[in-house]
Structure 1
Amino acid sequence: MAVSPVLIIKLVNDSAISVRARLYDDFAEHEIILNSVLTYWWANDMPPAIKFLELFDSVIKRTINEIMPHKNLNLKYDVKANEVLDKASIIEVNLISVSADGVGFKIENGSFTLSGIRKVEPDFESKEYSTTYDYIIETPDIILKKYKEMKK
């Protein structure tokens, strides 16, 4: 029986998202500290929902690359929000599938909700929004070479 790599996503006390990848006894873990990044995005008038999803993708990519250097990462997840992502104050993420160079990851705790990520006006009216992201993130050759060297 083959052992599948595992990707574990955890919301830690509404203040951080932990991303951990494990293969056999090898693991890598990174956290997204929400207070820090939200403060930065608010101060620079950036859409927090969109910026969070970009950061989430890159943290998954980096975490998996540390245990399994790969060229292509396939990510698929659903996102639901209370408004279009530019204006959303609540987002729900449901990770559906992750694979690195064709090797699928078992996903644990792949669903979480972030609320209060954007201040809303008193007259804000919620409009349900949902979309599915299904795409490939490629690792540049020079970075892939560094990850492979780290594994040796």
Structure 2
Amino acid sequence: MAVSPVLVIKLVEDSALSVRARLYDDFAEHEIVLNSVITYWWANNLPPASKFLELFDSVIKRTINEIMPHKTLNLKYEVKANQILDKASEIEVNLISVSADDIGFKIENGKFSLSGIRKVEPDFEAKEFETAFDHVIETPDIVLKKYLEMKK
């Protein structure tokens, strides 16, 4: 029986999002410290929901590369928000599938919500917004070479 790699997503008291990848006894874990990044995005007038999703993709990619260096990462997830992503103050993410070089990951706790990620104006109108992402993220050859060297 083959053992599937596992990707665990854990929201830690609305202050951090932990991303952990595990294969046999090998694991890698990274946290997104929400207060810090959200404050940065606010200070620089950047859309927190959109920026969070970019960071989320990147952290998953890095975490998996540390235990299983790969060329291509496929991520599929759905996002629900209370406004278009550039204006949303609340998002719900449902991670549907993750595969690295066509090796699928079992996903634990792939559904989570973030609220209060954007300051809302008094005239803010919530409008249900849903979208799906199907990302294919390539690892540059030079970066892949470094991850392969780290595994040796």
- 2-structure distance, mates of 1:73, 1:3: 19
Q: After the TM superposition, which residues 57-96 of structure 1 pair with which residues of structure 2 at under 5 Å, given as runs?
A: 57-96=57-96
Counterpart residue number, 1:140:
140
Q: How far, CA to CA, are the matches of 1:148 and 1:97 in structure 2?
A: 24
1:99, 1:85 → 2: CA distance? Answer: 25
What do the CA deviations read for 1:55-100 (whole angstroms, capped 9, x no partner)?
A: 0000000000000000000000000000000000000000000000
Q: CA RMSD in A?
A: 0.4
* SS of alignment partner, residue 99 of structure 2: strand
Return structure 1 stretches of 4+ with deviation > 2 angstroms: none
TM-score by length of 2: 0.99
**1:12 CA drift (Å):** 0.2
Structure 1 gaps, min length 5: none
Post-superposition shift, 1:124?
Answer: 1.1
Aligned length: 152
The amino acid of 1:93's aligned partner reads V
1:19 has 2:26 as partner? no
Q: SS at 2:56's partner residue?
A: helix
| Aligned-pair identity (%) | 83
How far did residue 54 of structure 1 move? 0.2
TM-superposed CA distance for 1:121, in Å, is: 1.2
How many angstroms apart in 2 are the aligned matches of 1:135 and 1:114? 21
- Structure 2: runs of 5+ lacking an equivalent: none
TM superposition score normalised by structure 1: 0.99
Q: Deviations over 1:6-60 (max 9, x none)?
A: 0000000100000000000000000000000001000000000000000000000
Aligned twin of 1:32: 32
User: C-alpha distance in 1, partners of 2:138/2:110?
Assistant: 22
Cα distance between partner residues in 2 of 1:123 and 1:141 = 48
Give distance in 2, aligned partners of 1:123 and 1:73: 40
2: CA distance between counterparts of 1:57 and 1:10? 15
